[in-house]
Amino acid sequence: MITVRGVTKTYKVAKREPGLKAALKSFVTREYTYIEALKEISFSVAQGEIVGYIGPNGAGKSTTVKILSGILVPTEGACEVMGRTPWEDRVAHVKNIGVVFGQRSQLMWDLPVTDSFGLLKDIYRVPEALYRKNSAELTEILGLSEFIQTPVRQLSLGQRMRCEIAASLLHSPPVLFLDEPTIGLDAVSKVAVRQFIKRINKENGTTVLLTTHDMGDVMALTDRVMLIGRGRIMYDGSFGHIQKKYDHINIITVHYDADRILAPPEHTAVISDENGKAVLSVDTLKTPVSNVINRLAETHTVRSIDVQPRPVEEIIAELYKEYSI
């Protein structure tokens, strides 16, 4: 379905010192620096997979999506999406893909959403019957009916993003590229988008490549993740393996009748401790959580204890740290 082989993308960027003198000099002679956004990356995505593509800002995620979409041409390497090279036959290619960029819009800013949908129907040459079917289904599933007649500029971010996703699927593409589709969304909108992505994947077999900084998206949608850093693929495997490797820290919240925990149990670290509430981290590789709970109960009058796994954001931060990105 998607194959990437040794893709490198290098940007040529003009250098200029600040000031009027440097600006005038740049008209005569200009110096350049070269930035490798991608460095010989290779991967493949099978039909029907949902793959999380994660990494810090500037790692190369959006550049990869733009190459797969046919927007950019790589400096070296090759890639295919459904047997086509994206940048060689863009008209045929875009008929088979849907793309959502979280910080860019394909909708007409001053027009009602439904007019933008109609324009996209003509651009993609979607048959009338298929357009009516898809538009009605997407409007119902994503809850667009209340604002589909509203100009795009008057929509909230969550409403607009749901419309963007609908717009990218009007032509029933078998491949969907989502570049931070839930950025800035509230909890309700995030849940709606995640449920929709899972639904189209299950019912239609839509292949999804998802780039995101929201680890909730990754946990809710993907089994496989690819980690990119400094333009290279650092890890390609199951998200469960990452959790198992780094999820040996538990967070214990203790409510107790005392001013302060003076001597926390061995192999624990105090994150916070005030007003009869302490938050501790426990390394379960060194001691079982049950030992810590027993020790706390022996030394304090405990009113309640809550044990939670380590926040997924901290797990990912640990992963970034290991790969020095």
Q: What is the pLDDT of residues 33-90, one digit of tens each?
A: 888 999 999 999 999 999 999 998 889 999 999 999 999 999 999 999 999 999 998 8
Helix 157-168, helix 187-204: angle, nearest 10: 10
Which residues of the chain have a pLDDT value below 50?
none
What local confidence, expressed as pLDDT, does residue 101 receive?
Answer: 86
What local confidence, expressed as pLDDT, does residue 315 receive?
Answer: 80
What local confidence, expressed as pLDDT, does residue 119 receive?
Answer: 94
Q: Which domains does the chain have, with CATH numbers?
A: 2-243 (3.40.50.300), 248-309 (3.30.70)
What local confidence, expressed as pLDDT, does residue 208 receive?
Answer: 96
What local confidence, expressed as pLDDT, does residue 262 receive?
Answer: 59
What is the reported pTM? 0.82
Q: What is the pLDDT of residues 121-137, one digit of tens each?
A: 999 999 999 999 999 98
What local confidence, expressed as pLDDT, does residue 260 receive?
Answer: 63
- Which of 200, 191, 164, 308 is closest to 247 using CA atoms? 308
What local confidence, expressed as pLDDT, does residue 91 receive?
Answer: 86
What local confidence, expressed as pLDDT, does residue 323 receive?
Answer: 79
Determine the Cα–Cα distance for residues 118 and 199; give it in Å rounded to an integer: 24
Three-state helix/strand/coil letters over the chain: CEEEEEEEEEEEEEECCCCHHHHHHHHHCCEEEEEEEEEEEEEEECCCCEEEEECCCCCCHHHHHHHHHCCCCCCEEEEEECCECCCCCHHHHHCCEEEEECCCCCCCCCCEHHHHHHHHHHHHCCCHHHHHHHHHHHHHHCCCCCCCCCEHHHCCHHHHHHHHHHHHCCCCCCEEEEECCCCCCCHHHHHHHHHHHHHHHHHHCCEEEEECCCHHHHHHHCCEEEEEECCEEEEEEEHHHHHHHHCCEEEEEEEECCCCCCCCCCCEEEEEEECCEEEEEEECCCCCHHHHHHHHHHHCCEEEEEEEECCHHHHHHHHHHHCCC
